[in-house]
Amino acid sequence: MKTNILLPTDFSDNAWSAIVYALKLYANEKCTFYLLNSTLLKVAPMSNFSNRLLDTMQKKAKEELLELKEQAEVSNANTNHNFEIILSTENLVDAVKRAIKTHDIDCVVMGTKGASKVKEIFFGSNTVKILKKLKSCPVLVIPEEFDFVEPKQIAFPTDYNRFYGDKELQPLKKLANLFNTKIRVMHIEDEKKLSDIQEYNMGKLEEYLSRFEHSFHWMPNYAKKTIEIKDFIEELNIDILALINYKHSFIESIINEPVVKKIGFHPIVPFFVIPE
């Protein structure tokens, strides 16, 4: 069975790092990688000048996409992998949504930031928009200048207040299957004892993860969730952080607050965001 991966790019170094990570992560899978660039020109009535400018921008973007495709093929040299290019004139979110639908995309892999690289910003504006608006496909976000390491452990934080069915957990299982990765379920103790609902949800989670090597971890409530998760990642040598994005979830609170100083969190490992 073939896997389809979407790789949005603005031709920055961060975007290329994300592409390299994806190629290595899916090295043993039959994949088609779709390299996507969107060129949206905001104009009022389309004048001849804006038409010419759009044509020039599209031509340049197409040339860069073809060069990128060639670069990926040369550096990758993997018979399992095919590459296609998508040039869009829609805004990035709409372009990504259309590509997911048209090409039956399994996962979007992108960098934390684009060409601007503002140090204070947690995620670039495009990444935040994708995480907020995308409800149909998981997104794997790769930190700046992050070198690929074979993922041995995935952290999966949960408060057990929500029931996760097989559908929500499927992307996590697919990711764990790539390298037989261990799943570390992390819970921050906000309470002395789990409620009946939490106990039930934890039991179901254990049941759904039974085919995978997994373990349950309890963290004392001693700091902000962001700091606790960062500590957990460092203490257990976690390679990927996986989160389910739902209303009022931890990931939602992060992407709604872009300034690192306020939330005290840096993406130190790849961030796998699963839509509800």
User: Domains of the chain: which residue ranges?
Assistant: 3-142, 153-275
- Name the pLDDT band for 53 (thresholds 50, 70, 90): confident
Is it the case that residue 263 has pLDDT exceeding 50? no
Q: Both tokens of residue 142?
A: 């790769």
**Model's pTM, two decimal places?**
0.90
Q: Cβ-count burial of 195 within 10 angstroms (0-12 exposed, 13-18 middle, 19+ buried)?
A: exposed
For 3-142, the fitting CATH number among 3.40.50.1220, 3.40.50.300, 3.40.50.620, 3.10.20.30 is 3.40.50.620
Q: Both tokens of residue 238?
A: 């976690």
Is it the case that residue 110 has pLDDT exceeding 80? yes
- Do the beta carbons of residue 188 and residue 225 sit within 8 Å? yes
Architecture per CATH, domain 153-275, reads as: 3-Layer(aba) Sandwich (3.40)
Domains 3-142 and 153-275 share a fold: yes
pLDDT tens digit string along 182-225?
999 999 887 788 999 999 999 999 999 999 999 999 988 887 77
DSSP 8-class letter at 179: T
